[in-house]
Copies of this chain bind each other. A is one copy, B any other.
Amino acid sequence: MRVLIVHAHPEPRSFCAALKDAAIETLRENGDEVLVSDLYAMRWKAVADAADFESRADPGFLKIQAEQRHAHETRSFSPDIEAEMEKLLWAEALILNFPMWWQGLPAILKGWIDRVFALGFSYGGGRWFDTAPLRGRRAMLTLTCGGLADRFTDEALFGDIERILHPLRVGTLNFVGLDTVEPFVAWAAASVSAERRDQYLGEYRERLRGLASAPLQPFRELAAYPDPLSRDH
């Protein structure tokens, strides 16, 4: 497979970076091709703004989605966005590799989504979920997490991890057509023993070797929902 890893941790010697490095090595050993967008190393611009567009549909009023549609039609995204879009189109699988901060993506990675999953490019004109342009590719969330797994169940303090990842899995990845496999979560990565962390790496390598054939999580098909294309997007 052709795999794009988008990595978002500021410390190259962090365990989160070790997961990224293990993925690169394991996938290449497996015969897969790998590209990495190391967002901190790239000094990725997190904030969607006027500089994202080399020509404007309306220079006097900045509506990001409208400008994204225009930039898609006129191929006038800024070069940093264009480069990430090329990688996404190349990839058969996308791995988002990040520390869970505030039960979501670090801002730099949220900004990658905000800017790269642009209207026109990844959805729009009735193309979303099963009709989206990136449909058929797979995605995996690989995350480190401050707490142990027992904090993340329906009965526990934070609620189920699936509930926490729902906006990202359904509202973001499925939205642009990506199928998801079960996320890989390194629970309490910062506080477990070095042995446990090594074990995480071993488990992760195993997951990666099976990435192409891993079972897919449920995907919301538009046909299951009434009147899906009559409004929005």
Interface residues of A (CB under 8 A from B): 10-11, 13-14, 40, 46-50, 61-65, 101-108, 110-111, 113-114, 117, 129, 146-148, 151, 156-159, 163-164, 166-168, 170-172, 175, 188, 190-191, 220, 222, 225, 228, 231-233
Evaluate contact between A47 and B46: CB separation under 8 angstroms.
Answer: yes
Evaluate contact between A147 and B102: CB separation under 8 angstroms.
Answer: no
Evaluate contact between A157 and B220: CB separation under 8 angstroms.
Answer: yes
When the two chains form the complex, which single residue of B50, B111, B166 contacts A107, counting CB atoms closer than 8 Å?
B111
The residues of B that contact A168 with a CB separation of less than 8 Å are 102-104
User: Given A157-B129, A167-B164, A46–B232 Cβ distance below 8 Å?
Assistant: no
27 pairs, CB–CB < 8 Å, chain A vs chain B: A10-B49, A11-B62, A13-B61, A40-B47, A46-B46, A46-B47, A46-B108, A46-B111, A47-B106, A47-B107, A47-B108, A65-B190, A102-B113, A102-B171, A102-B172, A102-B175, A104-B104, A105-B110, A107-B107, A107-B110, A107-B111, A129-B157, A146-B232, A148-B231, A158-B170, A164-B166, A188-B232
Closest CB-CB distance, A36 to chain B, in whole Å?
A: 18
The residues of B that contact A47 with a CB separation of less than 8 Å are 40, 46, 106-108, 111
The residues of B that contact A191 with a CB separation of less than 8 Å are 231-232
Evaluate contact between A48 and B11: CB separation under 8 angstroms.
Answer: no
